[in-house]
Amino acid sequence: MHLQIVRLLEWKIANHGKRFINISNKRENSFRKVYKEFWSPKLINKPPYEHFTQVGDPVLRTKAAEVPGELVNSKEVEHIVEKMIKVLRKFDCVGVAAPQIGISLRIIVMEFRDGLKDILPKPVYEARKMCTLPLTVVINPTLTVTNYEKHKHPEGCMSVRGYSAEVERFHSVLLKGKNLKGIENEVELSGWNARIAQHEMDHLDGKLYIDRMDSSTFICTCWETVNVKSGRVEIPFYK
């Protein structure tokens, strides 16, 4: 016989009531609750996040849903886009897709600031065919390759923080979609900006650059510093 039943019977005999059962349930429930919360803390931080979701998060492996037509021009979508721009600029990057801030919707934001030309080494800037791209918000984007010539360059992703690898991307693409006002736009991109668009479009289909990379070139971007600093290096997920 189960130990608990023996105790229950003992209590019933002594007290002639059902109170034990109620108390027992309460105690069990509250213990279960505390125990559960201990192992799975309440999600107090809800998306849209102000950090980048990381590989392993199912949101990065899910095909994102189209933004319904009637919501394109809504405050909710505007709020998501504002957060995407905030995160893009806070982390100093050039592209972000909504799943990267925890929202499984087909929205991408890109920006290649003019100032990057002064920060990046000139040979790198030229070899990777980089050029300024003003802030571009595309809702429900579609991408058509307009030049199938491929270029292989190192690529990183804020959702695979701390690593990079060489990835082949098409030279030019035509990106179409709605802006925040719900107006259909199109933009022809080439070189690095075409790469950003292809990378962000992949995010909307649950794909990451690690699915397309030349795996022999996959590196931890701080591997040399790890040696210099005897391993005392951290990859920050905040800023």
Q: Which is nearer to Zn ion, 12 or 89 (CB)?
A: 89
At a CB cut-off of 8 Å and minimum separation 6, what does 80 contact? 48, 98, 101, 103, 105, 107
Interacting residues with Zn ion between 68 and 87 (CB under 5 A): none
Interacting residues with Zn ion between 6 and 45 (CB under 5 A): none
Residue 192 CB, nearest approach to Zn ion (Å): 14
For residue 5, give both structure tokens.
Answer: 């039943």
Q: Which is nearer to Zn ion, 143 or 157 (CB)?
A: 157
Residue 184 CB, nearest approach to Zn ion (Å): 25
Q: Establish if 204 lies at the interface with Zn ion (CB under 5 A).
A: no
Q: Which of 157, 165, 196, 213 binds Zn ion (CB under 5 A)?
A: 157
Active-site residue identified among 111, 155, 166, 200: 200
Q: Which is nearer to Zn ion, 72 or 84 (CB)?
A: 84
For residue 27, give both structure tokens.
Answer: 């105690």
Q: Is 186 a catalytic residue?
A: no
Q: Which range in 11-19, 74-82, 152-160, 179-187 contacts Zn ion by CB under 5 A? A: 152-160
Q: Which is nearer to Zn ion, 77 or 157 (CB)?
A: 157
Residue 172 CB, nearest approach to Zn ion (Å): 20
Residue 32 CB, nearest approach to Zn ion (Å): 39
Q: Which range in 25-33, 65-73, 151-159, 190-198 contacts Zn ion by CB under 5 A? A: 151-159
How many residues in the shown chain lie near Zn ion by CB under 5 A? 1
